[in-house]
Structure 1
Amino acid sequence: MRILVVCAVREEADAVEAGRNVRHEIDVLVSGVGPAAAAAATGRTLGANGQMGRAYDVVVNAGICGAFAGRAAIGDVLIATDSVAGELGVALPDRFQPIDEIGFGSNRIGCNTVLTVQMEGVRGEILTLASITGSAERADELASLHPGAVGEAMEGFGVATAAQQAGLPFAEVRSVSNLVGDRDVAGWDWSAALKSLTNALREI
């Protein structure tokens, strides 16, 4: 099996490389931060490798993330059931209206669970946002809007969109470095998150 693993930054890619599973042929791509960079880099790579990515069997977005308090903890591995674009829609005065409701597509892409079935971790939706949540109030708002979400990151939906358009299955695997809304980096643990990411990728 040939797998394209997409990471936002080099540190995440190094963690993935450290957990490389020799059972599969794995290419690791550093896309840059955010959904647009992730979608563009993934689409370009898939397009350059055969007819719309058929040289690959599956696409995985891997990296660190924030977890919603009470749903996961620092160091946990999060395995996405769905990649959800948390900001794709209309911000009405009284609620957020996802793009699904206005007939212009969907803000949700389901993840293939076959590749991650042996992986231990917390399963649920992972939100993709273009802006990192910077307050407890916004974190509470997102948690209320998305009761099935376990974490937030910035690339998943972009990678998932490129994979979907190439006709390839997609998975998202993240490890938790901080809680959503907590901007005090003194309490973050990148080392624990990257170590967890390495261990998780050994199970693919």
Structure 2
Amino acid sequence: MRIVITSATTAEWMPIFVNVNELYTGKSSRLKLQFYQSGVGLLASSVAITRLAIEERPDLIIQAGIAGSFSKKYAPGQIVVVNNEMLGDTGVEERGDWKDIFDMKLEKGSYHPFEKRKLPNPWIKQYNLMNLPMVDGITVNQVTTQPARIAALKKKYGAAVESMEGASLHYVGRETGIPFIQIRAISNYVGERDKSKWLLKESIEGLNKVLLEYVDKLYNVK
């Protein structure tokens, strides 16, 4: 089984890169593990993950990274997996109302790879080996900071977390048929710009601890 762990930045997977069992990166014929940096944002990550999917054809792509939380239920430091991804800022704002590409009739919510305007992960039950909480996410190119915008996104999409790359993984995975899973560590609440209140270091450490355990489980799956 060929596995790729990808993140926007190397910092998000560096702890597992230096600590993972060398069996998985060199000696094992049962599980081959690689690491891949996609770059930050929807554009860079879409191109990178598409190239990865076409050129490498891995058996599983794991996108690992941090995320902001819209909900007190998912506090900084918690680890989640994303079930449905949605596009959070692709559209237009008119007279204070946010309209996405589906509202504007530029895309049909039922056309592949979308289902009911979402990008669900069809492999999530198979690959959520750690039984992590499953949440819905939105992907944005501009990190959300304004209270009114946060309220509008929560009302429209009901997502629990926000990232800048999640939809690229779901879109490419669904288009190519390559299984994937998106594992996120909550580093902060959406809108909180006081970095002293973020758990950036702790969330990355927790994320990589889970990744180490996750790879061990993958290796032992019959």
Verify the 8 A CA contact 2:8 2:45 in the aligned structure 1.
yes
- Number of the residue aligned with 2:120: 110
Residue 128 to residue 19, structure 1, CA distance change in 2 (3 Å): farther
Verify the 8 A CA contact 1:138 1:181 in the aligned structure 2.
no
- Which is greater in Rg? 2
**Deviation for aligned residue 1:166:** 2.0
Q: Match of 1:69, SS?
A: coil
Q: Whole-Å Cα distance in 1 between the matches of residues 160 and 20 of structure 2? A: 25
- Number of the residue aligned with 2:155: 144
Percentage of identical aligned residues: 25
Gaps of 5+ in 2: 25-29, 109-113, 216-222
**Deviation for aligned residue 1:11:** 0.6
- Detail structure 1 runs of 4+ shifted over 4 Å in the superposition: 18-23
Q: TM-score, normalised by structure 1?
A: 0.86
Q: TM-score, normalised by structure 2?
A: 0.79
Which of 61, 64, 80 in structure 1 is aligned with 2:82? Answer: 80
One-letter identity of the residue aligned with 1:114: K
**Deviation for aligned residue 1:151:** 0.7
- Number of the residue aligned with 2:3: 3
Q: Whole-Å Cα distance in 2 between the matches of residues 100 and 137 of structure 1? A: 21
**Deviation for aligned residue 1:139:** 2.0
* Residues 1-204 of structure 1 aligned to structure 2 (within 5 Å): 1-17=1-17, 20=20, 22=24, 24-49=31-56, 53=57, 56-93=58-95, 95-101=97-103, 102=105, 104-105=107-108, 106=114, 108-111=118-121, 112-147=123-158, 149-201=159-211, 202-204=213-215
Q: Whole-Å Cα distance in 1 between the matches of residues 53 and 11 of structure 2? A: 22
Q: Whole-Å Cα distance in 1 between the matches of residues 147 and 132 of structure 2? A: 24
Q: Whole-Å Cα distance in 2 between the matches of residues 95 and 170 of structure 1? A: 34
Aligned-residue RMSD, C-alpha: 2.2
Q: Match of 1:72, SS?
A: coil
Q: For 1:112-163, what per-residue CA distance to the aligned partner results, in whole angstroms no more than 9, with x for missing partners? A: 213543324332111110011123332222212222x111010111122222
Verify the 8 A CA contact 1:58 1:170 in the aligned structure 2.
yes
